[in-house]
């Protein structure tokens, strides 16, 4: 039971990092990114490739963060002439292109088999302390990321992002460079998400193309929307709620004795039901963003 809880909280922490990165882009900046999971995939693959080449895990994480930030910059530059809806579709296409490359370029990525035998960061420790230490590292990274992003949100950059999201024409009239704001938001969110991908590769000892399927991006969107877009605490609440629902399904499977196929369908249906309920009764999320209004 303790191993199950440690694993659930570790995965929840990694997803929390990815969701915080998405919240910076979509929640504060209003950028529809349907290919967000590509940043995590870059972090995971960079870690695996660097380790296979004889480098360290930390070097792999830095390479992954650098590649993800470069991709964020490129996406911002390529999509600067597109409307928000077309831009969202373009991000989905870019993520699919990267997944296709990862699946077919076996000499670099291992192809469909992926890269295995990625060492954990604390293999030298006995069980269960290796898992507990890894969980502590993930929670520490989540805490630092959440506090840093909250500080950014309350600063001048965060206010500029929200103004761009709510009134882009007014933001431009006030002298803000919207292209620069979008580029910096994408690069910062990509860096946080790539770090999560690197941690996921170490935790699963594997990096494969399944990490970059579109359903993973929409799972992150579900977490952010349920918790509350634009609110750091809300995002963390959304991640915990969705992860709790995921973790509860195996217990229901054993209790009621139904098959694995039905369990998978029940898991997706339960998440969809929670999302539908939030959209109907809490459209701004369980912990909505608090916007300060200037009195007229």
Residue 75 lies in a domain: yes
Residue 249 lies in a domain: no
- Residues 6 or more apart in contact with residue 92 via CB below 8 angstroms: 34, 35, 214, 217
pLDDT, tens digit (0-9, with 9 covering 90-100), for 200-246 = 999 999 999 988 888 889 899 999 999 999 999 999 999 999 999 88
Task: Centre a 10 Å sphere on the Cβ of residue 201 and count the other Cβ atoms it contains.
Answer: 29
CA–CA distance from 133 to each of 123, 130, 139, 244, 247 (Å)? Answer: 10, 5, 10, 22, 21
Q: How many domains does the chain fold into?
A: 1
Alpha-carbon gap, residue 194 to 149, rounded angstroms: 16
Residue 41 lies in a domain: yes
Give the dihedral of Cα atoms 69, 73, 75, 79; nearest 10 deg. 160
Residues of the chain with pLDDT under 50: none
pLDDT, tens digit (0-9, with 9 covering 90-100), for 17-57 = 999 999 999 999 988 889 999 999 999 999 999 999 999 98
| Per-residue pLDDT, 191 | 96
Query: 251: number of CA atoms within 13 Å, CB side?
Result: 8
Residue 287 CA, distance from chain mean position: 19
DSSP 8-state class, residue 115: E
| CB contact at 8 A, 286 and 225 | no
Residue 118 lies in a domain: yes
Residue 294 lies in a domain: no
For residue 77, what are the domain limits?
8-212
| Per-residue pLDDT, 126 | 82
| Per-residue pLDDT, 114 | 92
Give the residue carrying structure tokens 């004889």: 54
Give the phi and the psi of residue 24 in degrees, each rounded to 5: -60, -40
DSSP string, 250-277: HHHHHHHT--HHHHHHHHHHHHHHHHHH
Long-range contacts of 101-104 (CB under 8 A, 24+ apart): 102/41, 102/45, 102/208, 102/209, 102/212, 103/209
| Per-residue pLDDT, 21 | 95
Enumerate the β-bridge partners of residue 115: 207
| Per-residue pLDDT, 294 | 56
| Per-residue pLDDT, 189 | 94
Residue 81 lies in a domain: yes
Residue 252 lies in a domain: no
- What 3-state class would DSSP assign to 54? coil
| Per-residue pLDDT, 202 | 95
| Per-residue pLDDT, 265 | 79
Nearest of 253, 216, 254, 209 to residue 11 by alpha carbon? 216
Residue 284 lies in a domain: no
| CB contact at 8 A, 216 and 45 | no
């Amino acid at each position: 039971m303790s191993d199950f809880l440690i694993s659930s909280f570790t995965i929840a922490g990694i997803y929390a990092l990815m969701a915080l990165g998405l919240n910076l882009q979509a929640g504060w900046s209003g950028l529809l990114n349907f290919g967000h999971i590509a940043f995590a995939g870059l972090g995971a693959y960079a870690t695996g490739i660097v380790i296979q080449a004889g480098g360290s895990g930390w070097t792999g994480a830095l390479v992954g963060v650098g590649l993800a930030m470069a991709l964020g910059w490129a996406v911002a530059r390529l999509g600067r002439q597109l409307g928000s809806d077309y831009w969202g579709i373009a991000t989905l296409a870019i993520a699919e292109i990267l997944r296709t490359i990862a699946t077919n370029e076996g000499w670099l990525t291992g192809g469909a088999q992926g890269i295995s035998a990625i060492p954990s960061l604390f293999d030298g420790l006995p069980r269960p302390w290796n898992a507990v230490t890894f969980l502590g590292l993930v929670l520490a990274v989540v805490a630092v990321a959440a506090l840093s992003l909250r500080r950014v949100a309350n600063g001048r950059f965060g206010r500029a992002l929200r103004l761009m999201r709510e009134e882009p024409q007014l933001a431009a009239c006030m002298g803000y460079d919207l292209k620069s704001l979008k580029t910096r938001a994408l690069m910062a969110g990509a860096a946080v998400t790539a770090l999560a991908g690197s941690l996921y590769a170490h935790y699963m000892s594997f990096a494969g193309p399944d990490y970059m399927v579109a359903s993973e991006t929409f799972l992150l969107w579900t977490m952010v929307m349920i918790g509350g877009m634009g609110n750091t605490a809300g995002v963390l609440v959304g991640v915990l709620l969705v992860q709790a629902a995921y973790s509860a399904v195996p217990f229901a499977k054993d209790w009621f004795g139904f098959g694995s196929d039905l369990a998978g369908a029940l898991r997706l249906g339960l998440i969809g039901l929670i999302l539908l309920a939030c959209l109907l009764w809490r459209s701004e999320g369980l912990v909505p963003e608090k916007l300060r209004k200037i009195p007229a």
